[in-house]
Structures are given as structure tokens and as C-alpha cells.
A and B are shown apart, each in its own frame.
Chain A
Amino acid sequence: MPQAALLPRDVDLPLDLRLPRVGAVDAVALEARAGELAKRSIKKASKLAALDLAIRMMDLTTLEGADTPGKVAALCAKAMRPDPADASIPAVAAVCVYPNLVAVAKKRLAGSSVKVASVATAFPSGQSPLAVKLADVREAVALGADEIDMVIDRGAFLSGRYAKVVDEIVRVKEACGSTHLKVILETGELGTYDNVRRASLLAIAAGADFIKTSTGKVSPAATLPVTLCMLEVIRDVHDETGRIIGMKPAGGIRTAKQAIQYLCVLKETLGTAWMTPDLFRFGASSLLNDVLMQIRKQRSGAYQSGDYFTID
């Protein structure tokens, strides 16, 4: 990912100036706007383009205690060639795994465009000492991860210890070196959109390349309004500083229809400039097959049963 060009390290948000003016979010109006955008009717060529893009933006994910090298190998095959029957289907952006499986994924994906993302920092709770979290990150990077998905310390955030939250992200960013950093806010635990906005700004100020909604382990995970709220923060940061931050909604996005709704929100909030895998990702495990099914429906005019799409 060409992050060096996009995200210069020398531009800093003036955090001390910024924090007193975090700004507010009106929940009713935010949800109403997301609801309006969800009703966009996307047809024909624009639907196909959206579905193709959704695949290229996908972080195909498996984060289970039961993950094995075999499971991850299968996922990697799917990531590189999502539809064995159709070579025109692009590869996904990345696979997302636990650190222990980074090496397997790296080997399987060698030579392809698909990146390896690893969760780290005592994922999913983040409730470990900083030294453990940093070691977690360093190990994942050493094993070859291209991208690190860290979690923020929600315990610190919700008790008002924002400096600790920022500090940790700064340290993790250092540990990442040139590895791309996504910061998971776990919005389902933050309780309000005001908190989501505040946490987004903290993460960006501390050096996040991407901000990400959820671990997928907490319900609700990604929602359309919460994504809109975070995209508005990204827009404000770009307006004020020129910094370009990416966005990753993760968890709960299971259908092609949902994915298209997210793309509509993205287009009408940040514009088509953000419609690239470099700046927008879907974290999902079961979305891909529905997208493949819809593409085939769109092309052939008929739905095919689930048996025509591989389960990996």
C-alpha cells in the first residue's frame, strides 16, 4: 500500500488545539442521513462496478480460536481467485488473520497482490499491558504482516484517560515502522456517536493510517451511521490538515446490498476519490460469496444456488 506518499509523517494534528473543539454529533440526524443514503437505488452497470470494487476492497477475515493453517490456506486461495469459474473477478485486498497464522498466509499469498493483515495488541479486548501489546505488534510485523489492525484501550477511553489511548497508538505506530496501521475503535462499546467522533480524532492524531469500526467480536459491529460518523471525521481532518485517512467498516456486513449502501455513503461523503482499496476496506468473512452471487445474477439474469460458490 503506497502509504508513504499518502500519509506524510510530518503533518501533525494540533491535538491540544483540536480536542476542546471535537465537535458534536446529532444521533437522530446522523441516522436519518444514513437511512436516506441506504435507499439509493443502484442498478445495472453501476451495480456491477460497485460489486467489483467491493471485492477489491475486501479484507477477507478469519479470526477464530479454531483457525488452522489449512483453514487459512483455503482462505488465501479464495482471496486470490474468489470465483474459480470466472477469471474476471478480481482478487480481494487482503486477508486478515491472527499473528500465529501470518506466516502461513504470507507464504500462500506470495507473488499475489493480496496483502496480509494481522490483528494485534491483545485483540479483541486490548486488556493487556502495553509491553505485551507492543511485543504482539513486533512479532506480527516480523512474521511478515503488511498491515496491523490494532484495538484501542476502551477501558482507558471510557474512563476519560485519553492520553493513555493516544500514547498507546503512538507507541504501536512506532512498533509498526513502515507497516500500515489500522486502528479499531470498537464502536459497539463506545456507546455514543460523540464518543466515536472523539475516538476517531484521537486515533488519527496519534498516527492511524486507517480507522476501523469493530473487531467483529462485539455487537453491534459496523453500522451505516457509525461509518458515516467516522467518514465525516476523516473529511474534517482532510479539510483542516490535508491528511488522508482510510476507513474500514468491519463486522456485520454480510450482503452485497449492504456493501453497496456503504459505497453510496462513501461516495456522497468523501467523493469518488476515496473509492479505492487504498482508502476504504470492508472487513468481512461471509460477504464475498453474496457479492459473487449477485455479480453472476447481474450478468446472467438468474440466481444460482449456494452450491455454485465455494465455501472456504
Chain B
Amino acid sequence: MAAKTPATRAVPSPLEWEYAPAPEAREIVRLEERYGLFIGGERVAPRSRKWFATTSPATEEHLADVALAGARDVDLAVQAGRGAFEDGWSTLRPAERAKYLFRIARLIQERSRELAVAEALDGGKPIKESRDVDIPLAAAHFFYYAGWADKLEYAFPNRKPRPLGVAGQIIPWNFPLLMLAWKIAPALACGNTVVLKPAESTPLTALIFTDICRQAALPPGVVNIITGDGSTGAHLVKHPDLDKVAFTGSTEVGKAIRRELAGTGVKLTLELGGKAANIVFDDCALDQAVEGIVNGIYFNQGHVCCAGSRLLVQESIYEPLVAKLKRRLRTIRVGDPLDKNTDLGAINSRMQLDRIRELVASGEEEGAEMYQPPCVLPEKGYWFAPTVFTNVAQSSRIAQEEIFGPVLSVLTFRTPAEAVEKANNTPYGLSAGVWTEKGSRILWMAERLRAGVIWANTFNRFDPTSPFGGYKESGFGREGGLHGLEPYLRFDR
């Protein structure tokens, strides 16, 4: 845009119109005091006799006590999964398996408000996101894989697909129910049984899901849910009777799991961290690119493995773009996750908040320029204002390490080739975004970017039909789409 000196004139200010609080009613979620483990279709007390609290990160309010599964509990859960696998689930007519999945999908839809509120309460994400993204997508995944259950022969012609057995699945805290759906739906559709461990800080929707399994009359032991901490996950991964492990989480833990499973013959998929480049060319639709950048990094407080955390801007539009971005940041509404107008909720845990603060401090030390819009953060709970760093060097930590928070690092480039070079210059390779009105450039970039997902003129769009997964340290294996079936199948030929 032209750098003409603006004839600044005061705009009249007739009305300070503020949105009144619009909280979603939380009564729809009836919390129990204590949640046991879900093993063999029953809620059982943990043999470990250990419990831990799950809290709301927005208020630090205690929500419920949850069982902490130990080695013996994990063993029982895997046994239950094995029993169900051998006792009919793996040989059930595929169309019958599909029926259960369709039932689960419909039940998620029926109970969507309850699940959305629980997700916002337990994880701190804004209700508008859990309501409009997490829960509908989780239902969509079950619907989608329900459709594949009796068509596997057509998905893999002439290859005789067979289920693997029992899958151990560990999911993260950023999209609790959605990640559960990504894991359980394809596993069940392919005829496997599962033992799933939800994240320590967000077990609630998985526990509500156990009730959905009961409502759907799913045979006991097909889905087992064991809550716990890192030690529970470690017991699960080490269990000798698993056929498959699927993990979504940090690269560090992913590496440890891979070491653990090396040579065991257990199939593995890992969906790990990312440091995605969101690349903005000077011929883009500027205002919409700004929306895409905001959605790319501030969606779900930036707790998104594929978040567009590195903004690469063509130098010729750097100034207007950054000005527009900063102004847009001032309209982001930070606060109560249950308020229907909240755009940015609470940071998921104290631990994550500390990590974000540490990395942001390093960014300041390394000389990057920080911008945060004026906003009042609640006193209780874990909060971090939306943040933009400009003047970021490719070598600084905030440009290299995954922050997993609402923090954007802005870098510049001059030519498409330089954009590709900088975008690929990372140990990760989960996603990337390209913003340009020129179709040929989108294709040129997509050929060269080493990332599992490349979005053009959009960001953070998910669909069950589309595979998702990473390059390099972002993991391997794909979830979603036809590709998402393969990790849960073996082939006789």
C-alpha cells in the first residue's frame, strides 16, 4: 500500500459499545466426584489406588478426581482389549462394526452441547471453538470411518486387509475429544480394539465418552480408557501384548516411544510437534491473510501442533501487514472460555504457561520486538495475551522451537525461493500455509515445501477425508482419510 503521509483526522467517538457477558450454561455437564477407569465396559476403581485432580485452567477450580492407572491397571485394560478382539469384535461382520460407529457419531451429536461445555471447562478453550470445531469434527470422524468399515476391501484392492489386534493410543490435551476420535474411529472401523490414555490435564470428555460407549451398547472391552499421567503412558507403551501404538504429543516423548518399540514389531504412528511457516506473498488478499494468520496462531491459544507459528512475509508488504495484524490483535477477546464471545481462552496448564513465558523471555533477550495488545487478563487461572514478535532472526529460539502458545514470530523473505528455503529450514515438517492470489505459485510452493499439510489461502482447516501427518521430527504415519486406515491394518498380500 502507498506510504503516503496520512492526513490524520480525529474520528468522532460517539459510543463505546461493549459486548455484555454471554456465558454458556455449564449445568448441562453433570460432573461426578470421582471417575474410575473404563475397562471391559465397566467403570472400575484403580488397582493402583491412586487418584489425581483435574482442574479448570481458567479458574483453577477443582472439577473432579480421576483414577491414576498403574502397571496392573494397564495390564487389565490390555487384557480386556485382547479378550474383546478375540471374542468376536475382529470377526464381526464389518457392517455391524459400522453400526456401532454410526451410533457413537450420532450420540456425540446428540450430546454435543454437554461435550462442548466439558471441553471448554476442562481444557480452557473458548466454547465457540469446542462447539463449532472440536465436537462437530469428532462426530464427523466417526461418521467417516463408520463408512469405511465394510469397504476396506475396496480401499485396498487385492490386498486382503486384516485388523492388527489391540492398539495402545495416547492423546494430547489440546483437542481432547477430537484426538480421541482421530484415534478410536479408524482403529475400530478396521476391527481392532483399543486402550486409550487421555492427557493428564484433560480427561473429562474421554470419561463422558465412556458413557457414550455404554449408550451405544459397544461390546465390553472394545474401547478401554485409562486415565493417568506420563507413567501410565509409559506402562502402556511397554506392554508386551500390544500390536500397535499411536501417539500424538511432543517430539521428545515420541522419540522415547520409538526407542522403546524399536525391534519389537509393534506398528507405530507418531504425530508430533511443528513449527509451521505461514507464507504471505505481496499479491495476497491482505485482509483475509490477516484473518488466516490470526486463525493460524491464536486458534486454540496456539496449542495446535500445526499452528502457523512462523509468519514469513514478503518484505514489500511487511509494514502494512504488520500494522493490520497488530490492529486485529486488539479486537481479540481474551477471557472466560465459557463466554460465547471469547476468542482466546486459558492456557491449558501451569506447566505450559511456564514454558510459554520462558520462550517469550528468550525472544526478548535475543532482541526481538514484542507486541501485545492492551488486555486485562483474569487474576486466577493461566493466561497469556496474544503476542507478536517482529525483528525475529531465523536463528532465534522463538523461530526454531515449538512454543505451543499464542505467540507468533514474524520473519521476512524477498523471493519465492527464499520463502521455501526458510520455511523448510526447521527440524519439523507438519504443515505450511501459502497466501497468494496466483494459482501457479501455490502449486510451485506446494511442490517444494516439506510439510504433511499445505494450506492455500486458509489455515487450520480439518476434514476427516483429508490425511494429516508430518515429515521429519513431526512424526510419521497419517491420520484421516483413506491413508488413516492403513496404520490399523495388516495385509495378507
Enumerate chain A interface residues (CB-CB to B < 8 A): 6, 8, 11, 14, 17-18, 21, 23-26, 28-30, 32-33, 39-47, 49-50, 53, 232, 236, 238-244, 263, 267-268, 271-276, 278-279
The prevalent SS among residues of A at the interface is helix
Quick check: B11 and A28 within 8 Å, CB to CB?
no
Within the complex, which residue of A17, A46, A239 is in contact with B6, where a contact is CB–CB below 8 Å? A239
Quick check: B4 and A46 within 8 Å, CB to CB?
no
Quick check: A11 and B7 within 8 Å, CB to CB?
yes
Within the complex, which residue of B4, B331, B457 is in contact with A26, where a contact is CB–CB below 8 Å? B457
Quick check: B288 and A30 within 8 Å, CB to CB?
yes
Min CB distance, B340 to chain A, in Å?
4
Quick check: A273 and B11 within 8 Å, CB to CB?
yes
Quick check: B7 and A44 within 8 Å, CB to CB?
no
Quick check: A45 and B1 within 8 Å, CB to CB?
no
Digit string of B8-41 for contact with A (CB within 8 Å is 1, else 0)?
A: 1101111111111110000000000000000000
Within the complex, which residue of B4, B9, B286 is in contact with A23, where a contact is CB–CB below 8 Å? B286
What are 21 of the A-B contact pairs (CB < 8 Å)?
A: A6-B12, A23-B1, A23-B285, A24-B284, A25-B287, A29-B291, A39-B132, A40-B19, A45-B20, A49-B15, A53-B15, A232-B287, A239-B6, A239-B320, A241-B4, A242-B8, A271-B11, A272-B15, A273-B11, A274-B11, A275-B15
Q: How far is the CA of A44 from the CA of B19 in the complex (A)?
A: 9
**Inter-chain contacts of A24 with B (CB < 8 A):** 283-286, 437
Enumerate chain B interface residues (CB-CB to A < 8 A): 1-2, 4, 6-9, 11-22, 128, 132, 283-289, 291-292, 320, 323, 331, 340-341, 437, 457-458
**Inter-chain contacts of B292 with A (CB < 8 A):** 29
Quick check: A33 and B12 within 8 Å, CB to CB?
no
Quick check: A33 and B21 within 8 Å, CB to CB?
no
Quick check: B288 and A275 within 8 Å, CB to CB?
no
**Inter-chain contacts of B284 with A (CB < 8 A):** 24, 26
Quick check: B340 and A273 within 8 Å, CB to CB?
no
Min CB distance, B67 to chain A, in Å?
37
Quick check: A275 and B17 within 8 Å, CB to CB?
yes
**Inter-chain contacts of B285 with A (CB < 8 A):** 23-26, 29-30
Q: How far is the CA of A18 from the CA of B3 in the complex (A)?
A: 11
**Inter-chain contacts of A11 with B (CB < 8 A):** 7
Known: A25-B285, A46-B18. 8 other contacts (CB 8 A): A14-B4, A41-B341, A43-B22, A46-B19, A232-B287, A236-B1, A244-B9, A272-B15
Q: How far is the CA of A275 from the CA of B437 in the complex (A)?
A: 33
Quick check: B288 and A244 within 8 Å, CB to CB?
no
Q: How far is the CA of A290 from the CA of B185 in the complex (A)?
A: 46
**Inter-chain contacts of A279 with B (CB < 8 A):** 12
**Inter-chain contacts of B20 with A (CB < 8 A):** 42-47
**Inter-chain contacts of B287 with A (CB < 8 A):** 25, 30, 232
Min CB distance, B290 to chain A, in Å?
10
**Inter-chain contacts of A42 with B (CB < 8 A):** 19-20, 22
Q: How far is the CA of A50 from the CA of B457 in the complex (A)?
A: 34
Q: How far is the CA of A147 from the CA of B292 in the complex (A)?
A: 39
Most A C-beta atoms less than 10 A away, residue of B12, B13, B21 = B12
Contacts A18-B2, A47-B20, A241-B6 given; indicate if A276 touches B15 (C-beta within 8 A): yes
**Inter-chain contacts of A238 with B (CB < 8 A):** 6, 11
Quick check: A29 and B458 within 8 Å, CB to CB?
yes
Quick check: A272 and B16 within 8 Å, CB to CB?
yes
**Inter-chain contacts of B458 with A (CB < 8 A):** 28-29
Q: How far is the CA of A39 from the CA of B19 in the complex (A)?
A: 12
Q: How far is the CA of A272 from the CA of B19 in the complex (A)?
A: 12
Residue of A nearest to B291 (CB): A33
Residue of B nearest to A236 (CB): B1
Quick check: B17 and A46 within 8 Å, CB to CB?
yes
Contacts A29-B458, A272-B13 given; indicate if A240 touches B4 (C-beta within 8 A): yes
Residue of A nearest to B21 (CB): A43
